[in-house]
A = this chain, B = another copy of it.
């Protein structure tokens, strides 16, 4: 076996190809939430599977689920005594709505300076694809990899990884590994390397408030039957108190207060609200009283309305008293909160608080995940810290993650594996929003980092 330098040189030679491949991959509108994109989902899985084969992997499989297919590949030639990593990522992307806010078409990935714009380039196609490109560089430069690798790329992350639990359970033997190295996640800022050591969980539901059986003329009928939009607004408004706390009884049961160690660590991070407001464009920070912004994002549970609609929403005016009003709600959870229980508490509370004159229908969601914390002394975290320190010349920060990766819970509960986040996406890249972008230098930094991570982990073994 020749050296890591050869692998890195090979990656350098192929820099342009690496970017072209990302453009090709991100051109496929693999929107898992929308049934119309089912064929695109299949196309994206096929593309990824072909790319894994071209990288030199001989075992590449499509694993069907009741939802979208997962792509699996493995390299076990390093033998039983070598470390084995399970690499995780997802090839599905968020819906591109609202389309009119994109400056370039979401599925025509567009390079502008050091950025590439397009739906999914940061979450998670860029970070995922670079791991495959590193395999390719190893196998073409050295003919082998320094450890055993298993790849599991799912197609349902953006819709809650509903079928992955089952799939992982069915394939538990084949998926055995020392730990999971996740290409999904994202770093905290573009300036400072970071290692994500926690993620919030998720509970979701959708509700419909119904009044009259059909839309009525708001002049003729206004004031004599309850308007579902008023009733829904009142339900939603009642979910938070004036201190920004969620009012659902039992919501905070089991949630631990932050330790003074945690508060101290967070306070010492290079973060300030002014910069955060500049980044987000929000006029002020706002949230649960008694917590700082990062404490709120990483350690406190929340309830957010993701969508609310009813009545006439088009141009001009339509004097209608609508028959229905709708809302989509998700809660972000912290350790101690069970997704199913939170959804049940929320359902019960909404039913209790339903105003008169309307009915309520609650649609449960299979979109749920427990919160996750990486053990402080995890050996994979140690390697990640070394690689990042070397690459960026500064020790990485330990940070939390406000978002959720349901599969973390699956890997923990079904396989007993911890997950080390090793993504080179950055948290400001407008994922889940218009004009999502990925920093092109991060594609190359990510490749180097993954190549080094594998090399070091292999070295520790030999």
Contact = CB atoms under 8 A, between A and B. Distances in A.
Interface in A404-462: 404, 427, 430-435
Interface string A308-332: 1111111111111111011010101
A181 interface: no
A358 B319 contact: no
Nearest to A238: B237
A163 interface: no
A282 B432 contact: no
A314 B433 contact: no
A381 to B, nearest CB: 21
Given A281-B214, A284-B356, A297-B224, A229 B308 contact: yes
Interface string A9-32: 000000000000000000000001
Contacts of A264: none
A126 interface: no
A127 interface: no
How many chain A residues sit at the interface, stated as a range, is 35 or more
A54 interface: no
Contacts of A307: 229, 310-314, 318, 320, 322
Nearest to A292: B224
A247 B63 CA distance: 58
A285 B233 contact: no
Interface in A290-318: 293, 296-297, 300-302, 304-318
A329 B9 CA distance: 63
A202 B317 CA distance: 12
Contacts of A233: 232-234, 236-237, 305, 308
B357 A280 contact: no
Nearest to A432: B217
A320 B34 CA distance: 16
Contacts of A1: none
Nearest to A98: B215
B33 A214 contact: no
Contacts of A219: 200, 202, 330, 332, 401-404
Nearest to A227: B304
A33 B223 contact: no
Given A219-B401, A220-B402, 19 more contacts: A33-B318, A34-B315, A95-B316, A159-B317, A202-B319, A213-B282, A214-B281, A217-B402, A220-B427, A223-B304, A223-B332, A224-B287, A224-B293, A226-B282, A233-B308, A285-B357, A309-B310, A311-B328, A320-B433
18 contacts: A101-B215, A212-B282, A214-B280, A214-B281, A218-B432, A219-B332, A220-B297, A222-B332, A223-B296, A223-B300, A223-B301, A224-B297, A224-B402, A230-B236, A233-B305, A233-B308, A284-B356, A307-B318
